[in-house]
Chains A and B, each alone.
Chain A
């Protein structure tokens, strides 16, 4: 039986988030969360493998307590088991500390896995680093941003487009893949399924103590990078604002900027006309 782990992250639904000016990290509990879109694709790839070959899926997340929601969603979608890694001590981790912490959790709570699937990147910090770094930490092979996955015995064969190359690659399991978005179409959880998933008893939650890690190697303290500041990019330009009914706007646009638009497009217009 193929034993799979899907690592997932809860990301904020809104894009203008408050951040903690002292630590320079985001105050995640202030915003409404959702399952990171790319993680849905990773879960879908796992579910498709399970349908074809049989198997068992453990969904893992690391985050604040509210991130439990996405694990329940994973159950509703077909995951068999969940693990929540949550502790104030591990908060504020960069990808180095995150991959370290996840690796310890996997080693202790699901050591006999065959395949780990991660989303190819998150929608909030977008580093695409945790998957590859987790494979390093666990000392297993990995392939990033894969599309098609085929299992042949203990060998996983994948296709992907990497830079300008269409590649077919294979590795023996255990191994890790990060899954491309746009190839596997994530299924929806039924309302009944969600209802049941949220009524299930508590999800196994572990903290730094359970992982046997010291505070100095996890969370913000265990991170190599520091956020100096976060700011909003401003591209300032003196511009002309047009408002009103579309028809009127369009007439004004074409009349007023005839020198800019008309002169350039008139030739093409005649050819088309």
Chain B
């Protein structure tokens, strides 16, 4: 019998397809990685009436799709999905499993890794293969001020979750052929211990910020909620939108809708004003596509200042106030 070919698996999450195409992004990256270790790219699709997604994943690079189609899988349940995935993984033995770091992925994957007694790296911002053929997983630590490269030397599969937006999906090719492996739902899976009483799809957040040509972004360096509010006035004068970092949203200086970051919202304004933002990687990953960046920070060494085209070394709140005043003066004259 021919030796079983190595494989890289991508967990197919199709629920928030239009907002969150992380599965396709992972298939794209898996395709690159597979070339380096001569592996095939596989996807898994669990759910009910999922043919559409099976075709989609083949068109985006999966050469094999493991499908479990059953009405009982209609809602994503961690208990059931972990048990089902454990069965299939144990049977087919993939080398690598990649999962999108969605809320579901961040709950499902640690439990799966634990059952498989293997390592898992969370929220990777980079994936590569080293000289020994091992998956090198780059993940942020300490609020993104440091990056860590992590490997799983012996245990298999090597597992990682990856935040949406880290990799670029490849264009689809509906001529691509792939093998479909239908997996029956095992009759002896343990009963779900968590009962879903209700699940309401939340309205998609407004996309205004994502498309705004001018964004005024604020961080903790603005000093207080009252001073942060001035950014809204600046945005109004500039005809832009206000964005915020995670600590600011945690401190309730801004609504969650304003959150800009790797996992949250990516923005691509022509001009970005960044006030009192230190530049943790989770945030800066969300502004990679900004055009001209003006950053204001008391600390000239802040990561955000290094990313900026113009770095203003001063108190963020004072510059904000001065800028509003000066702009209004210029409008009047």
Partners in one complex: yes
B-binding residues in A (CB < 8 A) = 12, 15-17, 94-96, 99, 123-130, 132-133, 135-137, 140-145, 157, 161-172, 175, 181-182, 223-237, 239-244, 246-247, 249-251, 253-254, 257, 260-261, 264-265, 267-273
B51 proximal to A (CB < 8 A): no
User: Considering the chains assembled together, what is the distance between the CA atoms of A254 and B322 in angstroms?
Assistant: 12
B308 proximal to A (CB < 8 A): yes
User: Considering the chains assembled together, what is the distance between the CA atoms of A180 and B270 in angstroms?
Assistant: 35
Q: Is the interface of B mostly helix, strand, loop or mixed?
A: mixed
User: Considering the chains assembled together, what is the distance between the CA atoms of A182 and B252 in angstroms?
Assistant: 9
3 closest A-B pairs by CB: A268-B239, A224-B119, A141-B193
Contact indicator A96/B117 (Cβ below 8 Å): yes
Contact indicator B309/A253 (Cβ below 8 Å): no
Please pick, from B142, B151, B330, B331, the residue contacting A15 in the complex, using a CB distance under 8 A.
B142
User: Considering the chains assembled together, what is the distance between the CA atoms of A41 and B146 in angstroms?
Assistant: 25
Nearest B-chain residue to A145, judged by Cβ:
B103
Contacts of B294 on A, CB cut-off 8 Å?
253, 257, 261
B198 proximal to A (CB < 8 A): yes
Contact indicator A227/B310 (Cβ below 8 Å): no
User: Considering the chains assembled together, what is the distance between the CA atoms of A232 and B301 in angstroms?
Assistant: 13
User: Considering the chains assembled together, what is the distance between the CA atoms of A269 and B106 in angstroms?
Assistant: 44
Please pick, from B16, B117, B150, B197, the residue contacting A170 in the complex, using a CB distance under 8 A.
B197
A164-B16, A169-B196, A226-B153 known; A265-B303 Cβ under 8 A? no
B4 proximal to A (CB < 8 A): no
Q: Is the interface of A mostly helix, strand, loop or mixed?
A: mixed
Nearest A-chain residue to B195, judged by Cβ:
A170
B120 proximal to A (CB < 8 A): yes
Contacts of A168 on B, CB cut-off 8 Å?
196-199
User: Considering the chains assembled together, what is the distance between the CA atoms of A248 and B249 in angstroms?
Assistant: 31
A242-B312, A247-B322, A269-B327 known; A129-B147 Cβ under 8 A? no
Residue among A16, A224, A242 with the highest chain B CB neighbour number at 10 A? A224
Q: What 11 additional pairs, Cβ within 8 angstroms, besides A16-B145, A228-B136, A257-B310?
A: A95-B110, A96-B114, A127-B123, A130-B110, A163-B104, A166-B202, A224-B155, A234-B306, A244-B314, A269-B237, A272-B239
User: Considering the chains assembled together, what is the distance between the CA atoms of A99 and B110 in angstroms?
Assistant: 11
5 A/B residue pairs, CB under 8 Å, sorted by A? A166-B202, A240-B311, A246-B322, A264-B271, A272-B237
User: Considering the chains assembled together, what is the distance between the CA atoms of A244 and B296 in angstroms?
Assistant: 12
Contacts of A162 on B, CB cut-off 8 Å?
103-104, 107
Nearest B-chain residue to A162, judged by Cβ:
B103
Nearest A-chain residue to B279, judged by Cβ:
A235
Please pick, from B193, B213, B331, the residue contacting A171 in the complex, using a CB distance under 8 A.
B193
Contact indicator A240/B309 (Cβ below 8 Å): yes
User: Considering the chains assembled together, what is the distance between the CA atoms of A261 and B198 in angstroms?
Assistant: 48
Contact indicator A254/B330 (Cβ below 8 Å): yes
Q: What number of residue pairs across chains A and B have CB atoms under 8 A from each other?
A: 262
Contacts of A253 on B, CB cut-off 8 Å?
294, 310, 312, 323
A235-B284, A235-B306, A246-B319 known; A164-B202 Cβ under 8 A? yes
Contacts of A235 on B, CB cut-off 8 Å?
279, 284, 303, 306-307
Contact indicator A225/B309 (Cβ below 8 Å): no
A-binding residues in B (CB < 8 A) = 15-16, 19-20, 78-79, 102-104, 106-107, 110-111, 113-115, 117-123, 136, 140-155, 193-202, 204, 213-214, 236-240, 250, 252, 270-271, 279, 281, 284, 292, 294, 300, 303, 305-315, 318-319, 321-323, 325-328, 330-332
Contacts of A224 on B, CB cut-off 8 Å?
117-120, 152, 154-155
Contact indicator A226/B150 (Cβ below 8 Å): yes
Contact indicator A237/B271 (Cβ below 8 Å): no
Contacts of A260 on B, CB cut-off 8 Å?
271, 292, 309
Contact indicator A143/B194 (Cβ below 8 Å): yes
A144-B106, A161-B202, A224-B154 known; A269-B330 Cβ under 8 A? yes
Contact indicator A167/B199 (Cβ below 8 Å): yes
Contacts of B271 on A, CB cut-off 8 Å?
260-261, 264-265
Residue among B122, B140, B281 with the highest chain A CB neighbour number at 10 A? B122
Contacts of A269 on B, CB cut-off 8 Å?
237-239, 327, 330-331
A135-B111, A224-B155 known; A249-B322 Cβ under 8 A? yes
Contact indicator A137/B15 (Cβ below 8 Å): no
Please pick, from B197, B238, B309, B311, the residue contacting A265 in the complex, using a CB distance under 8 A.
B238
Contact indicator B200/A165 (Cβ below 8 Å): yes
Please pick, from A16, A135, A225, A249, the residue contacting B319 in the complex, using a CB distance under 8 A.
A249
User: Considering the chains assembled together, what is the distance between the CA atoms of A241 and B298 in angstroms?
Assistant: 12
Contacts of B197 on A, CB cut-off 8 Å?
157, 168-170
Q: Whole-angstrom distance from the CB of B239 to the nearest CB of chain A?
A: 2
Contacts of A227 on B, CB cut-off 8 Å?
148-150
Contacts of B330 on A, CB cut-off 8 Å?
254, 269
Nearest A-chain residue to B122, judged by Cβ:
A127
User: Considering the chains assembled together, what is the distance between the CA atoms of A91 and B294 in angstroms?
Assistant: 43
Contacts of B142 on A, CB cut-off 8 Å?
12, 15-17, 123-124
User: Considering the chains assembled together, what is the distance between the CA atoms of A164 and B20 in angstroms?
Assistant: 10
